[in-house]
Amino acid sequence: MENSTRLLQRQASALAARRVGVVEADDAALADLPSASLWRHADDFTVAADQWRPLPEVPEDTDLLILPLPKAADRMTLLLRHLAGVIRKPLSLWLVGPAKGGIRGGVTRLKEFADDIQLLDSARHCKLYEGQLRPGPPLSLAEQAVVIDVRGARVTSYPGVFSHGRLDEGSDLLLDALEAADVGGGKALDIGCGAGVLTVWLARAGCRVQALDPSATAVTAARATLADNGLSAEIQGGDLFDGITGRFDLLVTNPPFHDGRERTTQITRRLIRQAPEHLQADGELWLVANRELPYAQWLDDAFRQVTVMRETNRFRVYRARR
């Protein structure tokens, strides 16, 4: 359980009679908050919330919104603008987050959209603020799109998607390596597709592509990217290989090494361990990662042949053959 969730549970008496909506839920334990009624929205597929979508739907009887501090500042601004645009009168909003994790900046952003902001509680290295969210103009997610050119393809991104509005260095290096090896054709899976940078490249290279990402906003962006380029791929929400059946000729990934605000290598370790089960004989995993991360040994343990295909002072591209 997150410390911010524990801080919210301390407010049991204040929550007991409230009709609560949790926006951008980041902890499954938020389902157990005391309340008269409770709905949870999440962008993260793994939270298993009531609403998995880029932006929440807010029932009219909701009288309190709770927003765990989003990791990305532009994502928080997007959520507040959206929420302001769907309410008809001022609505109580609680902002909760780690004291050293950007909560002060979050309060500054909240002041742009809410009045009467005050500190309600502080414990477990977290702080809880309350404000009155003001109604504002309606917002469309499409209006927030940023479109960039990536090797002749139009890539659509929204606030909160990985590497929003730019091509990250790791994916760029992976594309260099794939192009140099003349990879194309066959059945491919893009794991953690983000805005669809690798997905659209694979589709243009003649692959039959599936892609997945735990972020509802990323899935929406990737689908827009494919549509804008007149291409097709099966894009779905999921955590690593959730819901994936059959075997592939090619797996590609620029995997995360953060889970929320925590640095972790366990996501990629699990990906590497499970990948051979989803590859055809002689199928390949192409993975880019920060070069200091300990992936080489894990790849050697799981695959017959591992080759470094590209390398810079920051990143390394691996090709691992089953």
The candidate with the shortest Cα–Cα distance to 42, out of 52, 29, 28, is 52
**CB neighbour list of residue 197: distance below 8 Å, 6 or more residues apart:** 150, 155, 167, 171, 175, 225
Give CA–CA dist 313/165, Å, rounded: 24
Asked if residues 247 and 79 have their Cβ atoms less than 8 Å apart, the reply is: no
| Phi and psi based region of residue 99 (left: phi greater than 0; alpha: psi -120 to 50; beta: remaining) | alpha
Closest to 156 in 3D by CA, of 215, 226, 214, 74: 226
Taking only the tens place, the pLDDT of each residue in 75-99 is 999 999 999 999 999 999 999 999 9
Over range 14-31, report the average pLDDT. 96
Instruction: Calculate mean pLDDT across residues 232-258.
Output: 91
Interatomic CA distance for residues 239 and 251, integer angstroms: 15
pLDDT value at 259 more than 70:
no
pTM metric for this prediction: 0.94
**Eight-state DSSP code of residue 240:** T
Mean pLDDT of 225-245: 95
Residue with structure tokens 């995993």?
285
Residue 260 has pLDDT above 60, yes or no: no
| Mean pLDDT for the chain overall | 95
pLDDT of residue 242 exceeding 90, the answer is no
Per-residue model confidence (pLDDT) at position 279: 98
**Confidence grade of residue 194 (pLDDT, cut at 50, 70, 90):** very high
Range in 14-23, 188-197, 252-261 the model is least confident about: 252-261
Indicate whether 211 pLDDT > 80: yes
Assess whether pLDDT exceeds 90 at residue 224.
yes
Residues sharing a CB contact under 8 Å with residue 292, sequence separation 6 or more, in sequence order: none
Phi, psi of 134 (to 5 degrees): -85, 140
Q: What percent of the chain has pLDDT over 70?
A: 98
Closest to 62 measured CA to CA, from 30, 19, 102, 29: 19
Tens digit of pLDDT for each residue in 98-110? 999 899 999 999 9
What is the dihedral sign for C-alpha 116, 144, 211, 290? negative
Do the beta carbons of residue 68 and residue 22 sit within 8 Å? yes
pLDDT at 45 over 70: yes
- Residue 193: the pLDDT is 97
* pLDDT tens by residue, 261-296: 556 789 999 999 999 999 999 999 999 999 998 899
- Per-residue burial over 96-127, b if 16 or more Cβ lie within 10 Å, else e, is bbbeebbbeebbebbeebbeeeeeebeeeebb
Distance CA 145, CA 220 (A): 11
* Residue 257's pLDDT band (cuts 50, 70, 90): low
* pLDDT of res. 265: 86
Instruction: Give the rounded distance of the alpha carbon of 274 from its chain centre.
Output: 21
In sequence order, what are the residues at sequence separation of 6 or more whose Cβ sits closer than 8 angstroms to the Cβ of residue 60?
none
- According to DSSP, residue 16 is labeled T
Q: What pLDDT, on the 0 to 100 scale, is given for residue 262?
A: 59
Which amino acid is present at 229? N
Q: Map out the domains of the chain with their CATH numbers.
A: 3-139 (3.40.50.150), 142-321 (3.40.50.150)
Whether 195 shows a pLDDT value over 60: the answer reads yes
Tell me whether strands 315-321 and 305-311 are parallel, antiparallel or unpaired: antiparallel
Residue 261: the pLDDT is 53
Cβ pair 188, 202 in contact under 8 A = yes
